[in-house]
Amino acid sequence: MADPHLPEDAVIEILIRLPVKSIVKLRCVSKTWRDLIKSPTFIHRHQNRERKQSVLLVKRYLTQQNGDEAILSFHDPDSPELLVSPNLSIPFSNDLDHPSANYALVQIYGPCNGIVCIPVGDIILLCNPALREFMPLPPPNIPRPEGYFVYHLEFGFGFDPNTGAYKVMQISQTTTKDFQLLPDQDRFDLYDSASNSWKHIDAKRPIMITCFPSFQIFFGGVLHFYAEIDMNDDPYILCFDITTEAFQLLDFPDDFPEYGLSSLTVLNENLAMVGYPRWKGESEPSQIIEIWVMKEYGVKESWTKQFVIGPYMVFCPFLLLNNEWLLVESNNVGQLAVCGLHENNFKELQFYGFGSTISAAVVYQESLISLNDII
């Protein structure tokens, strides 16, 4: 090793406690250190250490001379206004026509082991933000009759611990320009990093997916989506087990508010759902926000109303920070804010998206897993 007075085990114990950006720099110390840091054994130990550095990752837009550019910004989850790394440009976002006006074309899904999935228009990227790596996936082969085009409704991203594979779910519709659908249900295609290929998944029933901001979540090895079996029926949570590749439905709480929208998050290691008002304009009055927790996963009767906060008017909640704050985009479009769960307080953060909604934020734990090692 670089220091002959330290045994290798001691050096490893020191290194695994360092943040990723420090370890990446130390790969330049010597060939021995580089080989050690890139070894699967070291990466696994670093990934499974007790204390990991968490980062709040936010999709934003910057105005550049050659057009709007989508970027990732890195923040301290305990102090969201504190930047912890330089911004990272998202590839291909400059190729979109006015990406800030088409915010749904650039989203963040995950994270899984420090890796996120970022669709950019028709291109699907995997990204390790800590290593600042991107990798495009091959496109799914979806039949498209003449005169039709494929419309991407929603995505999901998960990790299968049984196979070590990362999987991406793309939910789409084949439609004409007049939105005449073909077929009569949404299509599910699944990418598997083990084979670097896609396959069609049969849901075995007509299912309609609605793309609510921040509703899709990967929790407990399962992807969750907002779904309807019939437009006149109650909504469901559609669940897709990433290992068994089987679907099931979860019910909403019986008394869940019907006045607006909903999103999914995690509270104290339980699946949680946020009910919030649909923002219709500056004249719309503020309303309360409800947070429900499913205390026993899969059991409808275990849904419990945990918090009622507000009244606030928000455009979209993203996630819970440290089980203390609800991170939201305020009705001052493009601006992030936090709402206290235990005390009824509201604080706008001093940074914005560009011109339109930010529409994506996740908390991830830094990882040394390179995309080159998983595909």
pLDDT tens track for 201-235: 998 877 778 877 788 999 999 999 998 876 667 78
Q: What is the mean pLDDT of residues 3-19?
A: 70
* CA-closest candidate to residue 201, choices 179, 223, 221, 219: 223
Are 171 and 114 a contacting pair, CB within 8 Å? no
Output 271 or 151, whichever has higher pLDDT: 271
Q: Give yes or no for residue 238 having a pLDDT over 90.
A: yes
Q: What is the mean pLDDT of residues 351-358?
A: 52
Are 136 and 195 a contacting pair, CB within 8 Å? no
* CA-closest candidate to residue 118, choices 172, 159, 71: 71
H or E, element range at 36 = helix 31-38
pLDDT for the residue 5: 62
Task: Region of 194 please: left (phi>0), alpha (psi -120 to 50) or beta.
Answer: alpha
How many Å apart are CA 221 and CA 159, to the nearest integer? Answer: 7
Q: What is the mean pLDDT of residues 360-372?
A: 90
Residue 216 in tokens: 């899709």
pTM of the entire predicted model: 0.87
Output 160 or 316, whichever has higher pLDDT: 160
**End-to-end C-alpha distance for the chain, whole angstroms:** 30
Task: Region of 139 please: left (phi>0), alpha (psi -120 to 50) or beta.
Answer: beta
Q: Give yes or no for residue 150 having a pLDDT over 80.
A: no
**Beta-bridge partner residues of 219:** 222
Task: Note the pLDDT tens digit of each residue in 298-349.
Answer: 999 999 999 999 888 788 888 999 999 999 888 776 778 899 999 888 998 8
Task: Note the pLDDT tens digit of each residue in 282-297.
Answer: 566 678 899 999 999 9
Domains assigned to the chain: 1-51 (no CATH), 54-250+359-375 (2.120.10), 252-357 (no CATH)
Average pLDDT of the chain is 83
pLDDT for the residue 354: 46
Output 43 or 155, whichever has higher pLDDT: 155
Task: Note the pLDDT tens digit of each residue in 108-130.
Answer: 999 999 999 999 888 999 999 99
Are 139 and 148 a contacting pair, CB within 8 Å? no
